[in-house]
Amino acid sequence: MQPNFTRRDVLRGSVAFAATVMTRTPLAALGFPEPEAGSTPVPFVTPQIKSPNRPMVHWDTLTDWQTDNASVYVVSHYNKPDLAADDWRLNVAGFVERPATFTLADLKQRPRKELLATLECGGNGASPTFLGAAANVRWTGTPLAPLLKECGLKKRGLEVAFFGADQKQEKVREQEFEMRFSRSLALGDALRDDVLLCWEMNGQPLPREHGFPLRLVVPGWYGIAWVKWLTRIEVLDRRLMSKYMGREYVTIRGEDVGGQTLWRETSVSFMNVKSVVARVLKLKDGTLRVSGAAWSDGTPIQTVELKLDDGPWQPVKLDTTRQSKYSWTFWWFDWKGAPVGEHTLVSRATDADGRVQPAPDDPAIKLKKTYWEANQQWSRKIRI
Amino acid sequence: MQPNFTRRDVLRGSVAFAATVMTRTPLAALGFPEPEAGSTPVPFVTPQIKSPNRPMVHWDTLTDWQTDNASVYVVSHYNKPDLAADDWRLNVAGFVERPATFTLADLKQRPRKELLATLECGGNGASPTFLGAAANVRWTGTPLAPLLKECGLKKRGLEVAFFGADQKQEKVREQEFEMRFSRSLALGDALRDDVLLCWEMNGQPLPREHGFPLRLVVPGWYGIAWVKWLTRIEVLDRRLMSKYMGREYVTIRGEDVGGQTLWRETSVSFMNVKSVVARVLKLKDGTLRVSGAAWSDGTPIQTVELKLDDGPWQPVKLDTTRQSKYSWTFWWFDWKGAPVGEHTLVSRATDADGRVQPAPDDPAIKLKKTYWEANQQWSRKIRI
């Protein structure tokens, strides 16, 4: 497991400051190759937009493989309940032989599991103002599957529905309902051994805005599935179609089928293969060190390639020592002899199943008419 | 297999006329016990509303276990394409190793399977004007599962989506799309051996309004899943959330959970256990013969009970000789010595899993805020 190098000052600091910290913690240990002393950051022509009130990953100062809690994006659709750990209960109900209620202490006595997994908002990358809603976090909790099995799954079970304590008055079909946030997973997805009931982020109790005291962790899936403030789990014999299943987080995508566009609406679920150019450093000898991250739904990242201006796609180096199934992979490329002027850098990732991160003009992106699942290649410009 | 007694005049005829036909076809052979000669129909105080332009089952004249094609309800959400069998093709695509195209002749050369199954509209019973949108039909086609398996299911497959040729301009998220009707089934449901690609109803080619040349038959599921004018099947690695999955045919139902109403929105899928009082005949000796039908998702009907006015629930006789897994079951009850006046008759069915057809004031019905899946007990009044 990754040591807990999550100090905010490391993440947010300048390269110079980071270099100071590096005397104690080599950058290499944090996932990036060690920049030489005296290297300087190369700014982007259009920097990532940062809002002081909105936690985000800031790609251009990112040095740590793991994201500290304060930099993890927060997206919540209903209220943000302030739950007391002592009063909190988790109910397991529905198509189980033995419905059960768990306290937080009950859960903490169960087998403990930690994993590093990238959490990404389904809307991340949809616009230039929303490019840092991804984070790589060490999650701690207990696996869901054995708990469900202990409750005795009935044969009619088709889905597992997760209800948060967060709620909102919603108008549905001209009627008002006090709706609780809910999402579901197909039974097979819910029973994966890496789906966790999680109470810690990076070794700290879950912060309130991340779902204290318990959230679902669904590695490889977009954040909408990672239900926060979890208080109820129901095994259902039919499909849940709550607002955030059936109406929101639904991707509309077209495809040319026999000369006609066939439109499909599908639920945002597992993460599409994606990479980003995070930052560029100019080393002492003038080499431009381009680095970034790539991630997927857990399918191994096979290659990341980088295109410099109108050049060919060139393979980059993957930080294989740090690859972890559901975590992003850091990568870097040393560009020697870059001419003075403006340059365009764009990366693309390919996973072991052969799925390639699409170009913005790929039909898979051009015919996507909603903002979710925006995994198109993200072009960035520098001036040197 | 059921003989093809589907003459409309039998179904629609008066009891007197039916009695004439019965000299050739005993009523018992049609599912109902033989009424004595001279029996007379007892009208309902509020008769089922019939529209000459809208095919429906007319419960009060129903004698045939099987429903003739002309009496099968028609609900279509988009247009009703007029397809030519020769031009028609079925494409199988998506997460399969070997995408394939089938002509109608290709399909007809595959193993032929017939089954009797009750088709019911998800909205049947929601209002007094919409009470006959159910039918019991002999369907003929070929099982879907072997065809899908021959195309080579890839391991990422989660759902099977079915696209009709019927389409409509739809506004979704402020954009216009030419959408094709589509529904999906979880892979496990799609691979059931009784899910058919069907080209015949009651021994006749599928009528246009029922999806000529091919529709999906999903025994035990409400009609919305039985996609008509089927031309494309796609194995998907994610969930389809088309209009008729995610936004329409979504039941909103509340349940009291710890003193709070927990609302759930779920997709209309398999049929809920249901029974109806269909008709009442007065026999020569004054006995009232109450008969009706009961059906479910394929789970055996365990009992049907009848409540006469304020009396206790009394078991009725089930026509066990005619029970077929996905077909309705006919039942009857002989009421002797019914006093003159107005009487209320209500039936309830219970399936072998112990699910009971709920009373209208059961929370399962009271807290159902949409019209689909209206399986509440249906009270009918007679005056004698």
The proportion of chain B whose per-residue pLDDT surpasses 90, expressed as a percent, equals: 83
Query: Strand A317-318 and strand A313-315: pairing?
Result: unpaired
Residue A232 sits at the chain B interface (C-beta within 8 Å): yes
Tell me which residues of chain A have a pLDDT lower than 50: 1-26, 29-30
Q: Where are the domains of chain A?
A: 27-51+269-383, 74-248
Other Cβ atoms closer than 10 A to B324: 18
A153 contact residues in B (CB cutoff 8 A): none
Residue A1 sits at the chain B interface (C-beta within 8 Å): no
Q: For A176, name the nearest residue in chain B, comparing CA atoms only.
A: B369
Residues B244 and B252: their CA atoms lie apart, in Å, by 15
Characterize B113-145 residue by residue with b for buried, 16 or more Cβ atoms within 10 angstroms of its Cβ, and e for exposed: bebbbbbbbbbbbbeeebbbbbbbbbbbbbbbb
Q: Is the dihedral of CA B103, B104, B108, B113 positive or negative?
A: positive
Helix (H) or strand (E) holding A100: strand A100-102
The DSSP secondary structure of B92-156, one letter per residue, reads EEESBSS-EEE-HHHHHTSPPEEEEEEEE-TTTTSBTTB---EEEEEEEEEEHHHHHHHH-B-TT
What DSSP state is assigned to residue A144?
A: H
Does B245 sit within 8 Å of A250, measured CB to CB?
Answer: no
Residue A158 sits at the chain B interface (C-beta within 8 Å): yes
Q: What is the mean pLDDT of residues B161-177?
A: 97
Residues B319 and B301: their CA atoms lie apart, in Å, by 11
B169 contact residues in A (CB cutoff 8 A): none
Closest CB from B237, B246, B263 relative to A265: B246
Q: For B271, name the nearest residue in chain A, comparing CA atoms only.
A: A238
B232 contact residues in A (CB cutoff 8 A): 257, 262
Alpha helices by DSSP H, chain B: 8-12, 15-22, 104-108, 144-151, 187-190, 363-366
CA-to-CA separations, B195 to A180, B25, B144, B189, B352, in angstroms, rounded = 35, 32, 6, 8, 22
Residues A104 and A215: their CA atoms lie apart, in Å, by 12
**Partners of B127 in beta bridges:** B130
Find where tokens 């088309």 sit. Answer: B242
**φ, ψ (nearest 5 deg) of residue B227:** -55, 130
Question: For the domain A74-248, what is the CATH superfamily, name and number?
Answer: Oxidoreductase, molybdopterin-binding domain (3.90.420.10)
Residues B65 and B293: their CA atoms lie apart, in Å, by 9
Token pair recorded at residue A345: 């850098």
Does A370 sit within 8 Å of B264, measured CB to CB?
Answer: no
- Shortest Cα–Cα distance, A166 to chain B (Å): 12
Identical topology for domains A27-51+269-383 and A74-248: no
Q: Say what the pLDDT of residue B7 is.
A: 28
Contact B367, B261 (CB under 8 A): yes
Instruction: Summarize pLDDT for B265-285 with one digit per residue, the tens.
Output: 999 999 999 999 999 999 999
> Best mutation site among B262, B372, B373 for testing chain A: the one with the most A CBs within 10 Å?
B262
Residue B256 sits at the chain A interface (C-beta within 8 Å): no
- pLDDT of B5 strictly over 70: no
- Shortest Cα–Cα distance, B99 to chain A (Å): 13
Does A180 sit within 8 Å of B267, measured CB to CB?
Answer: no
Other Cβ atoms closer than 10 A to B14: 11
**Partners of A41 in beta bridges:** A281
CATH 3.30.70.260 fits A27-51+269-383, yes or no: no
Does A186 sit within 8 Å of B252, measured CB to CB?
Answer: no
Q: Say what the pLDDT of residue A322 is.
A: 75
Does B161 sit within 8 Å of A238, measured CB to CB?
Answer: no
Q: Say what the pLDDT of residue A31 is.
A: 52
Angle at B201 between CA B207 and CA B60, to 5 degrees: 95
Other Cβ atoms closer than 10 A to A327: 23
CATH number for the domain formed by residue range(s) B71-248: 3.90.420.10
The DSSP secondary structure of A249-260, one letter per residue, reads SEEEEEEEETTE
Closest CB from B156, B175, B241 relative to A266: B241
- pLDDT of B11 strictly over 70: no
A93 contact residues in B (CB cutoff 8 A): 257
Q: Say what the pLDDT of residue B32 is.
A: 58
CA-to-CA separations, B258 to A89, A102, A227, A232, B368, in angstroms, rounded = 12, 15, 21, 11, 18
A123 contact residues in B (CB cutoff 8 A): none
Residues B117 and B223: their CA atoms lie apart, in Å, by 11
Residue A352 sits at the chain B interface (C-beta within 8 Å): no
A156 contact residues in B (CB cutoff 8 A): 353
For all residues of chain B together, what is the average pLDDT?
A: 90
Q: Say what the pLDDT of residue B79 is.
A: 95
Q: For A92, name the nearest residue in chain B, comparing CA atoms only.
A: B257
- pLDDT of B4 strictly over 60: no
Closest CB from B240, B257, B269 relative to A264: B240
Q: Say what the pLDDT of residue A4 is.
A: 32
Angle at A170 between CA A167 and CA A174, to 5 degrees: 160
**φ, ψ (nearest 5 deg) of residue B288:** -95, 120
A163 contact residues in B (CB cutoff 8 A): 262
Does B266 sit within 8 Å of A177, measured CB to CB?
Answer: no
Provide the chain A residues 166-225 that lie in CB contact (below 8 A) with chain B. Answer: 172-173, 175, 177-180, 182, 186, 188
For all residues of chain A together, what is the average pLDDT?
A: 90
Provide the chain B residues 269-288 that lie in CB contact (below 8 A) with chain A. Answer: 269-270
Residues B384 and B381: their CA atoms lie apart, in Å, by 10
ipTM of the complex: 0.91
The DSSP secondary structure of B21-49, one letter per residue, reads HHTTS-GGGGBSPPPPTT-EEPPBSSPPP
Instruction: Summarize pLDDT for B99-142 with one digit per residue, the tens.
Output: 999 999 999 999 999 999 999 999 999 887 888 999 999 999 99
- Shortest Cα–Cα distance, B97 to chain A (Å): 14
Query: Strand A230-236 and strand A90-94: pairing?
Result: parallel
Closest CB from A182, A246, A263 relative to B250: A246
- Shortest Cα–Cα distance, B177 to chain A (Å): 7
Residue A101 sits at the chain B interface (C-beta within 8 Å): no
Does B262 sit within 8 Å of A241, measured CB to CB?
Answer: no
Strand, coil or helix: A322: helix
Contact A284, A38 (CB under 8 A): yes
Q: Say what the pLDDT of residue B28 is.
A: 54
Residue B163 sits at the chain A interface (C-beta within 8 Å): yes
B233 contact residues in A (CB cutoff 8 A): none
- Shortest Cα–Cα distance, B248 to chain A (Å): 10
Instruction: Summarize pLDDT for A300-345 with one digit per residue, the tens.
Output: 999 999 999 999 999 999 998 877 899 999 999 999 999 999 999 9
Q: Say what the pLDDT of residue B34 is.
A: 61
Residue B243 sits at the chain A interface (C-beta within 8 Å): yes
For chain A, how many residues are written?
Answer: 384
**Partners of B302 in beta bridges:** none
**Maximum Cα–Cα distance for chain A, whole Å?**
70
Contact B368, B358 (CB under 8 A): no
**Partners of B288 in beta bridges:** B282, B335
Which amino acid type is present at position A132?
Answer: G
CA-to-CA separations, A285 to A35, A39, A278, A282, B21, in angstroms, rounded = 11, 9, 21, 8, 102
Instruction: Summarize pLDDT for B57-95 with one digit per residue, the tens.
Output: 999 888 888 999 999 999 999 999 999 999 999 999 999
Residues B280 and B275: their CA atoms lie apart, in Å, by 15
Other Cβ atoms closer than 10 A to B169: 9
For A258, residues 6+ apart whose C-beta sits below 8 A from its C-beta are none
Q: For A172, name the nearest residue in chain B, comparing CA atoms only.
A: B252
For A87, residues 6+ apart whose C-beta sits below 8 A from its C-beta are none
Does B180 sit within 8 Å of A369, measured CB to CB?
Answer: no
The proportion of chain B whose per-residue pLDDT surpasses 70, expressed as a percent, equals: 91
Q: For A234, name the nearest residue in chain B, comparing CA atoms only.
A: B264
Contact B24, B268 (CB under 8 A): no
Instruction: Summarize pLDDT for B225-261 with one digit per residue, the tens.
Output: 999 999 999 999 999 999 999 999 999 999 999 899 9
Closest CB from B158, B163, B270 relative to A186: B158
Provide the chain B residues 13-72 that lie in CB contact (below 8 A) with chain A. Answer: none
- Shortest Cα–Cα distance, A356 to chain B (Å): 16
Contact A333, A368 (CB under 8 A): no
Which amino acid type is present at position A8?
Answer: R
> Best mutation site among A263, A296, A299, A375 for testing chain B: the one with the most B CBs within 10 Å?
A263
Provide the chain B residues 292-351 that lie in CB contact (below 8 A) with chain A. Answer: none
Closest CB from A177, A237, A370 relative to B252: A177
Angle at A252 between CA A246 and CA A256, to 5 degrees: 140
